[in-house]
Amino acid sequence: MIVIEQILSKEDVKAYRQTLQSVPWDDGKNTAMGMAAAVKQNSQALASDAKVQKLANQLLNKIGETPKVVSAALPHQIFPPCFNRYAESEEYGFHVDAAVMRVPNTQVVLRSDVSMTVFLSEPDEYDGGELIIATEFGEQSIKLPAGYAVVYPSSSLHKVTAVTRGERVAAITWMQSMVSESVLRENLYQLDQSIQSLIAAGNTPRAELDRLHNVYHNLIRQFAHL
């Protein structure tokens, strides 16, 4: 579970929210699969709408331009981002994301290894609405500033608690990683972050950085499935 700081600027968030006020919304149950539909109470922006597709493509570009997301997820394929909205009393009970997803209106199928939520509402705009992720260390509650994101294994049981005041708006997407094993992906992320920290510090000999880069990329070469 990794927090991505400010994947969207405050100006980006404002533009997204303004656009989302003028697009059609559908019952979220219509996009849920299996048992998830029984516990899903929210609205989802209509994916076929041109404005929604434009926002989704813009967010895809942001994901590709954010090194920490790439380092954390090592994405091979990314599902077009969806936009959801929780009004008062709406929630999404405990569920697990579908393991295999088909991109709408295409023949593209991807395996969901990594889930990502991008918060588009400020925490003080609503009460409740926490993203709860069940981990081996217990349930983790996440409620981040607008423009921030969290990535976590799609295999995790998770839920969104009931909103009791205001409105919670967010974007969600799923990624098929080049490295499907979550523990290995986490180790690669930690290694990459250490390399980036050493580069930023500016006092590590180039030969040592080259050695670490060699190890990192050879591990990806060994374990990546494309």
> Do 116 and 211 lie in a common domain?
no
User: Residue 209's domain is classified under what CATH number?
Assistant: 4.10.860
In the chain, the number of structural domains is 2
Q: How far apart are CA 212 and CA 216, in angstroms?
A: 6
Say yes or no: 120 and 159 in one domain. yes
Q: Does residue 72 or residue 29 have the better pLDDT?
A: 72
**Span 156-208, pLDDT tens digits:** 999 999 999 999 999 999 999 999 999 999 999 999 999 999 999 999 999 99
pLDDT above 90 for 23: yes
CATH number at residue 11: 2.60.120.620
214 pLDDT band (50/70/90 cuts)? very high
d(CA 22, CA 4): 28
The answer to whether the beta carbons of residues 157 and 39 sit under 8 Å apart is no
The confidence score (pLDDT) of residue 57 equals 95
Q: What percent of the chain has pLDDT over 70?
A: 100
Domain termination residue (choose one: 140, 156, 177): 177
56 and 108 assigned to the same domain: yes
Question: Strand ranges (DSSP E) for 60-125?
Answer: 75-78, 82-86, 92-95, 100-102, 109-111, 114-119
| Per-residue model confidence (pLDDT) at position 45 | 95
Same domain? 32 vs 115: yes
Q: Which of 96, 111, 74 is nearest to 224 (CA)?
A: 74
Residues 123 and 206 in one domain: no
Query: Which distant-in-sequence residues (6+ apart) come within 8 Å of 16 by Cβ?
Result: 8, 55, 83, 120, 171
As a whole number of angstroms, the distance between CA 72 and CA 91 comes to: 28
Q: Is 97 annotated as a binding residue?
A: yes
146 and 219 housed in the same domain: no
Do 104 and 208 sit in the same domain of this protein? no
pLDDT (tens digit, 9 = 90+) per residue, 105-157?
888 999 999 999 999 999 999 999 999 999 888 899 999 999 999 999 999 99
| 188 and 105 part of one domain | no
Same domain, 209 and 132: no
Boundary of a domain, candidates 142, 162, 177: 177
Expressed as residue numbers, the domain containing 198 is: 182-223
Segments in the chain forming alpha helices (H): 10-20, 50-64, 67-73, 182-201, 206-223
Known binder of ligand: residue 95? yes
Using CB atoms within 10 Å of the CB of residue 184, give its burial: 0 to 12 exposed, 13 to 18 middle, 19+ buried.
middle
Query: Which of the four pLDDT bands, split at 50, 70 and 90, describes residue 40?
Result: confident
Please compute the mean of the pLDDT values over residues 12-22 and round it to a whole number: 96
Domain co-membership, 219 together with 169: no
Shared-domain flag, residues 97 and 22: yes
Same domain, yes or no: 36 and 88: yes
